[in-house]
Amino acid sequence: MSTKKLCIVGGILLSFPRHRLSSGGLMVTPSPTTAMHYMSIKCVDVRKNHHKTKWLMPWGPNQCEKIRDLDEAMSRQIEANDIVFAVHIPLPKKEMSPWFQFILVILQLDIAFKKNNEIITLDVSLAYRDDMFGEWKEMAHAIETRKLKCSFASPKTIEHEGRHYDCDALTFMEIGTVAHKFYLLNIRLPVNERKQINVGIGEIKDVRLVSIHQNGGFTKVWFAMKTFLTPSIFIIMVWYWRRITMMTRAPVLLEKVIFALGISMTFINIPVEWFSIGFDWTWMLLFGDIRQGLFYAMLLSFWIIFCGEHMMDQNERNRLSGYWKQVGPIAVGAFCLFIFDMCERGVQLKNPFYSIWTTDVGTELAMAFIIVAGICLCLYFLFLCFMVFQVFRNISGKQSSLPAMSQVRRLHYEGLIFRFKFLMLITLACAAMTIIFFIVSQVTEGHWKWGDFTVQGNSAFFTGIYGMWNLYVFGLMFLYAPSHKNYGEDQSNGDLGVSSGEELQLTTTITHVDGPTEVYKLARKEAQE
């Protein structure tokens, strides 16, 4: 790899993330998600038996018999069991589209009086149709329970009479594809004195819903980005693997890990989401989670192994089993989160209203998984910090004894040190960028005004960070690929001294980016010795 080439590539790589970050934001990309409010319409189910579901429309043609508020129901002697809260998603004159990727619905209750925290039982059904005048088709039906957590912010005096309780929003529904244009929700709150169902929930004034979906514009930009990134990472991956197979020796562990990182990046990049536009694949959300999880696990393992391989002590590692202590927690943590996700989103494939958090056992189970995963993560970071510390200690130890070493050994160690510090630097930079942007996007409301046009900070954040980590993996494979120059050369010790001396001069005088490749060469020579 010539210096010139490296300089150019390095320059391009460095200028890329900034470019992508700004272009991602400054383009017309809208914010990632939209939340829409719905006020449910209180319909009266006039038929006496509720066994066969008939769909009640809140507005439009064939709308149901409405009541304005529940006092009216009282005076008309309508029973609680005959009241259906109907919500049509979306609002009139709008259509849902597959570009929305998912719909998440949140339920909020306005409650006037209440005894204590109670369980509310909801009889919910979801239907869809694709044209405004078609028949509703049932999509899901379930009887769900939710725990009401309400508080009365101000003391119960006459002053505050008529104020509603502040109730926590309840997660209500999640569907992983938006394959249909219109959705209809019918919610009943059955009362059964004998079974103590919905007896103590207080007086409900209104049922409000908030639906969240991904913006079509954001989806398109995101897909475009993935479609563009996939071949670039894939090509560099193929190139990298070719370099490795060209060598006479078997690939070392670090090389394999980098390659695996490349594979998981490609896996996450492959825009299978395109299929969600045409097919009703509800598992896409779950699949996306799994892909992300795999990548995170791979990245964390890579850092550990990279540190381990630069330990510069005499231990022979180069095997995955040597890292079981560090990689173990990652595997356990990732597995826990996987199980948790399967329990939540996996079950939601069958029942979109399901949530693991609604029951006590479920909550405990979910908390257990998350806590175990959290402990594993902490453990991992302790190991990582410890290893980095060890490496730095070894580095300072080696640096003091460097001048006394033979040239070959010195070059080897200098190379290792440089290589390690280089990766340390870019990793820290990437992580810092991620954290800073994350915090900024959480603190600000997600958009900044620059003169006339608003920048959607959140979209810029997502596209920018995603692009940055792609670049990170790209850079890793590109820079840490073994050099092909000395491929197959059988060098004597004398030769080596001269040639590497020259090369080292090159690496120190020119760009830093050159370092790793050179160093790798040296390391290999050392191995050949």
Contacting positions for other proteins (CB under 8 A): 30-41, 58-59, 70, 73-74, 77-80, 83, 88, 90-95, 97, 99-100, 104, 106, 108, 110, 113, 162-164, 169, 171, 189, 191, 198-199, 201-204, 208, 210, 212-213, 215-218, 288-289, 292-293, 337, 340-341, 344, 442, 445-446, 462
Contact 169, 108 (CB under 8 A): yes
Q: What minimum distance in Å lies between the beta carbon of 111 and other proteins?
A: 8
Instruction: Tell me which amino acid residue 296 is.
Output: Y
| CB-nearer residue toward other proteins: 92 or 494 | 92
> What is the C-alpha separation between 80 and 54, in angstroms, rounded?
17
Angle subtended by helix axes 493-509 and 515-528, to nearest 10:
170
| CB-nearer residue toward other proteins: 187 or 312 | 187
Contact 130, 182 (CB under 8 A): yes
| CB-nearer residue toward other proteins: 32 or 475 | 32
Contact 88, 81 (CB under 8 A): no
Q: What minimum distance in Å lies between the beta carbon of 60 and other proteins?
A: 8
| CB-nearer residue toward other proteins: 3 or 23 | 23
| CB-nearer residue toward other proteins: 80 or 432 | 80
| Residue 125 vs residues 16, 191, 204: alpha-carbon distances, Å | 48, 17, 20
Q: What minimum distance in Å lies between the beta carbon of 416 and other proteins?
A: 35
Q: What minimum distance in Å lies between the beta carbon of 435 and other proteins?
A: 12
Percent composition of the chain: helix, strand, coil (DSSP 3-state, to 5): 55, 15, 30
Q: What minimum distance in Å lies between the beta carbon of 414 and other proteins?
A: 40
| CB-nearer residue toward other proteins: 296 or 422 | 296
Largest separation between any pair of C-alpha atoms in the chain: 103
Which tokens in the block code for residue 31? 């914010």
For the residues of 457-484, what is the DSSP string, one character each? HHHHHHHHHHHHHHHHHHHHHHHSSPPS
| CB-nearer residue toward other proteins: 344 or 414 | 344
Q: What minimum distance in Å lies between the beta carbon of 164 and other proteins?
A: 6
| CB-nearer residue toward other proteins: 135 or 161 | 161
Closest by alpha carbon to 285, among 356, 180, 214? 214
E strands along 194-321, which residues? 204-214
Closest by alpha carbon to 474, among 131, 193, 191, 228? 228
Q: What minimum distance in Å lies between the beta carbon of 423 and other proteins?
A: 25
- Strand pairing of 103-111 and 170-175? antiparallel
Contact 91, 181 (CB under 8 A): no
Q: What minimum distance in Å lies between the beta carbon of 266 and other proteins?
A: 19
Q: Which helix (H) or strand (E) holds 123?
A: strand 119-129
Q: What minimum distance in Å lies between the beta carbon of 234 and other proteins?
A: 24
| CB-nearer residue toward other proteins: 101 or 394 | 101
| CB-nearer residue toward other proteins: 224 or 235 | 224
> What is the C-alpha separation between 359 and 367, in angstroms, rounded?
12
| CB-nearer residue toward other proteins: 323 or 466 | 466
Cis geometry, peptide bond prior to residue 90 (ω within 30 degrees of 0) = yes
364 burial via Cβ count (<10 Å: 0-12, 13-18, 19+): exposed
158 burial via Cβ count (<10 Å: 0-12, 13-18, 19+): exposed
Q: What minimum distance in Å lies between the beta carbon of 41 and other proteins?
A: 6
Q: What minimum distance in Å lies between the beta carbon of 384 and other proteins?
A: 20
